[in-house]
Structure 1
Amino acid sequence: MYKVDLPVDNSVELAVERRRAAEAARHSRIFNARNRVIGLDLQTLDRQVAERRERDEIQKECQKAYDALRVTNDQMLEQSQREEEESRRELRRDLLRFRDTYQRTEDSRDADLACNRQGALELNLSIPESQLGPASMTVFKGEDLGENERRRAQMGENERQLRAQREDTEKLRHWQKHQELLQDKYMVQQDLRSALLQDLEDKGKRVERLALTDFNQSLAQERAARERQERELNDSTALSEIRHMVTSDLLTERPEAAERPAWPGQGRRVLTDRWKGMTSEQHSAILREQEQQRLEREIQREAERQRERAWDQERMEQARALQEEERRGREMERRQRMELDKYNQQLAQEQQQHQQYLDKLLSTNQPTAHYFTQFNTTTR
């Protein structure tokens, strides 16, 4: 038999080691009070901080790239604007050169009018006259031959217009004078009519004043007569009142004036506004009545005092009975409290005996510190 070296299978040992490492990591993670209570994961926090820094760096790089691109675009835009301005200036210069060369004022068709020069084209034309057509004619000889007649006709027309204007002005002046005359006549008529109306109004006012005067006089006479009648009536009334007061019971002071017949079932009536005082008999009767009332009041007071004494005696007896009842109640409470104290002492003795039984006879095997260390030692 030949000895063959077979490879050793370490998968089981590796699996065991892997499980042991996982268990150790789990043990350190679970039994770490700080991580379990607070929940702090430093690795995760470090990773998050690194990711945040990386994102910030990326954003900064992007911002720098955007800034560089913006600067480049601005420079390109400025360059294009400068080129555009330069091209515009070049175009303007070319246009001015073209106009100076090919579009001069003295070379135009109306140079004789613009520059006050007759025959300007004839002097500057480089083309032979035989080669020019009818459309090239700009200056004609013999123009405005009837200038004098035209001026005389214009002067005659101006004179006719002036005469017509003078005639119109004269007609307008006559019409205005006629209108002024008509206005004056109208104003005179209005003045005459106003004067007539004013005269009629004055006459009417005079008639009204006369009528009003007559009416006021009649009213004054009626009022004077009415006042005279009222004065006479007041005088007669005053005299009658004076006569009545002099002869009345008020000033004569008759006692009988205050007495009136009695009503059925009632005593004699007295008029207070006419009463002159009591007589001696009335005064004596009142005194006798007052004395009688005083005696009756004294009897009532004595009866009240008797009743008060009886009530005081009754209240004293009730108070003594109440005190006796309270004393009996306190005595009963004292006896009940003594009985309760005895019962509590008996219960305390029984409880003490039971505790001694538990401590000395029943609970003799006390646990040691090693007994409590066997709990909460694994993660499973």
Structure 2
Amino acid sequence: MMSGRKCSSPITTLAATDHKNVPPGGGGLFSVPVEGGDSFSALQAKATAFGVSPSEGGLTLPSWVLEEKEAARIAHRRRLLQERAARIHQPRATSIAVDVAGLKQQVEERRRQQEDDARTHEHFARLAATQDRAALLLQHKEVKDREAKGEELVRFWREEQRPERRREYDLNSHQHITSALYHLTFDGEDEGMRERLKAQKEQTRTWLQQQQQEQRRRHLQERERDRLEELESLGACERARQLAEAEELCRRAEQLAIRKYNQALSRAKESIEAAQREADLKTEQQELRKAVMGSFLTEDPTVARSALGPHRVITDRWKGMSPEQKKEIEAVRAQQVAERKHREEQEAREASRWEDLVARADRTALLATHTEHITRRNLEEQVKVENQRLAMDQRTQQERLNHLLTTNVPTDHFYDKFGKHPR
């Protein structure tokens, strides 16, 4: 009834637990140690010593057997992956393809990008040089204008604001003592008026001539200054033009030199690549000749013999096995198959016996658990009856104390005599 279901008893837990977790020599029914080196007869003897008899039946293998199988499967899978990685990364079987057209296109795009950057940089440099020259010309013109304004102001002070034209000049000058203008004379007594007027007119004409000469000299100076400024501006423009032409010539010479250098590098690279291709072609032809003329493609099995022993061969020269070797391998394989079949049958018998042993131990544990449960229930019934008897005795004792020994029970009137408040 209970042999066809899985039970979570201590025996099942023991079968599914590693034998390393069981303390050696532990007492009790469920401390049976399971070691990899013990035979089935030893396990049967231990089970008989603990009162468990083996019988036919079966559940599952122990956990340590499953762990060993899982470890073997993982090791086999890891070995297959390592062999596959070795075949994939073999240098002789690996080839790298190069997209020559794509590389040439990338080189051309990079060259065009560099030329565009160079043109942009050159345009910016020319624009910066032009703006610098314009700024210098504007600064020079501003300096010249400031100097001309200073000279004009000095000339205006010298010609239009002379000391003798000031209103207080007569008060500060000492020439009025000897001047004919301040002689104390009366009408009709000015005998030198004609000479004085003549002298005044002469002086006025002289002043006018001086002013005209100064004005003509000023115009000449202004014209000369304008001419010099124009010459300086033309010279600056000519120098800027010459500088721009020199920069253009330098840039062209530099581009020509770079182009020639790149062409020389390209020719050198092409010659190196041609030499490398010719060397590779010669190497391939030589290898092909050696493979055809050598013993690699022949059917001679002696080339695969190894110097390390008659049972070893050179794998890259292996040409197959002889009929005798094949028969020997078939015989060994048949013997191995028979041995494996016998071993599997023996393992199946031992597993069946072990599963029967586990099933019987499980049934024994269930019986012990049921017996313990019945015993504990009987004990609880006895404790319950004893507790009821003790409770009844205690109630009887309390009633005897309350009714027989205590006759004067205080009433509420007795307690009222002492007051109801603490003060």
- The TM-score normalised by the length of structure 1 is 0.40
Larger radius of gyration: 1
Q: Which has the higher contact order (CA 8 A, sep 6+)?
A: 2
Question: TM-score, structure 2 length as denominator?
Answer: 0.37
